[in-house]
Chains A and B, each alone.
Chain A
Amino acid sequence: GAVVSQHPSWVICKSGTSVKIECRSLDFQATTMFWYRQFPKQSLMLMATSNEGSKATYEQGVEKDKFLINHASLTLSTLTVTSAHPEDSSFYICSARTSGRAFYEQYFGPGTRLTVT
Chain B
Amino acid sequence: EDQVTQSPEALRLQEGESSSLNCSYTVSGLRGLFWYRQDPGKGPEFLFTLYSAGEEKEKERLKATLTKKESFLHITAPKPEDSATYLCAVLSADSWGKLQFGAGTQVVVTP
Binding site for B on A (CB under 8 A): 2, 4, 6, 32, 34, 42-44, 46, 49, 57, 91, 93, 95, 97, 102, 104-111, 113
Contact = CB atoms under 8 A, between A and B. Distances in A.
B2 to A, nearest CB: 12
Nearest to B43: A108
A78 B45 CA distance: 21
Residue in A43, A46, A93 whose Cβ sees the most chain B Cβ within 10 Å: A43
Nearest to B106: A41
A45 to B, nearest CB: 9
The size class of the interface chain B forms with chain A is 20 to 34
Interface string B51-62: 000000000000
B44 A93 contact: yes
Contacts of B42: 110-111
A46 B98 contact: yes
A43 B46 CA distance: 15
Interface in B16-54: 31-32, 34, 36, 41-46, 49
B34 A105 contact: yes
Interface of B: 31-32, 34, 36, 41-46, 49, 87, 91, 96-99, 101-104
A2 B104 contact: no
Closest 6 A/B residue pairs (Cβ): A108-B43, A111-B43, A104-B32, A108-B44, A93-B43, A43-B101
23 contacts: A4-B43, A32-B97, A34-B98, A42-B103, A43-B87, A43-B103, A43-B104, A44-B44, A44-B87, A44-B101, A46-B99, A91-B41, A93-B43, A104-B31, A104-B91, A105-B32, A105-B34, A105-B46, A105-B49, A106-B99, A108-B43, A109-B43, A111-B42
